[in-house]
Amino acid sequence: MPIDRESADDLRSLEFRDPEEVLDPDKLYTVYEIGRLLQGLDPEEELDVETENVLLDWAIPWMMNHSEQFVFAEPTDDTDPGYYGLAQ
Which amino acid is it at 9? D
CB 2 within 8 A of CB 8: no
Confidence of residue 13 (pLDDT cuts 50, 70, 90): confident
pTM of the model as a whole = 0.83
C-alpha–C-alpha distance, residues 64 and 55, integer Å: 14
Q: In this predicted model, what pLDDT tens digit does every residue of 18-65 receive, in sequence order?
A: 999 999 999 999 999 999 999 999 999 999 999 999 999 999 999 999
